[in-house]
Chains A and B, each alone.
Chain A
C-alpha cells in the first residue's frame, strides 16, 4: 500500500497559468515533505520543502501548502513556464533523512 500518493499521473497547463500538483499521504507520523523535479535522463533535483510546523512555504514561483488534518499537500507553480515541464515527485519523511516517494506527476506546460 503506497504511503505517498500522487493520484494524477499527468497534468497539462497553458503557459502563464497556475499549475497545481497534489500529493496525499497516509502515515500521520510524516512531518517533513519535499518536492523534487525530474527531467528525462537526469536525476531528481530538489525544488522546495515544508515542515509540519508550517502550512505554507514559498520560493519564487513555487509554493507548497500542507494540510495536516487532510494529510494532503500541494505544489503551486505561478506562472507556469515551458521549462517547468517535467515529472514532479512528492516525498515524505519521519526522521528527515529517509524519504518515501510518490509515483510522480508529469507536468506539461503548453506554449
Chain B
C-alpha cells in the first residue's frame, strides 16, 4: 500500500498563476484533509472532506478551492497564487465509518514557492 500520495513534490509559481495539487489515498478512508505548514505555525487546516461528495472550510480557506473527485482523491486548487501561499502543503486521510476518533495519515508534502 502506498498510503497517501501527493503530486507534485515541488512547485514554483509566479504570482497570479494557477495550479492544482493532487492527493490520493489507498486506505479506503472516508475523510481527507488539506493542511499548510508555515514556520512557527504548526499545521493549519485549509479544507476537509468528511466523506465523498462533501467538503468544508477549515481554518485558512481563503484563496483555495477543493474537489473530492471520488473516495480516493482530493485535490487542492490555487486559482491565482500569491506569495502568502508559499508553504508546504500536506494532504491527510482518516476515518473508518462508525469510529469517533481516528488517526490521520499524512502524505509526504508539496513544497510550493510563489514568486
Contact = CB atoms under 8 A, between A and B. Distances in A.
Given A101-B42, A103-B42, A44 B100 contact: no
Contacts of B21: none
Interface in B1-27: 4
Chain B interface residue count: which class?
Answer: 20 to 34
A22 interface: no
B64 interface: no
B40 A103 contact: yes
B72 interface: no
B106 interface: yes
Given A51-B101, A97-B31, A41 B43 contact: no
A98 B48 contact: yes
Nearest to A99: B104
Contacts, number: 60
A93 to B, nearest CB: 7
Interface residues of A, number: 27
A89 interface: yes
A39 to B, nearest CB: 10
B31 to A, nearest CB: 6
Given A43-B90, A43-B109, A104 B103 contact: no
B109 to A, nearest CB: 6
B77 interface: no
A67 interface: no
A43 B102 contact: no
A49 B42 contact: no
B44 interface: yes
Nearest to B100: A96
Contacts of A103: 40-42
B109 A41 contact: yes
B95 A97 contact: yes
A107 to B, nearest CB: 15
A63 B35 CA distance: 27
Interface of A: 4, 6, 9, 32, 34, 36, 41-46, 49, 51, 89, 91, 93, 95-104
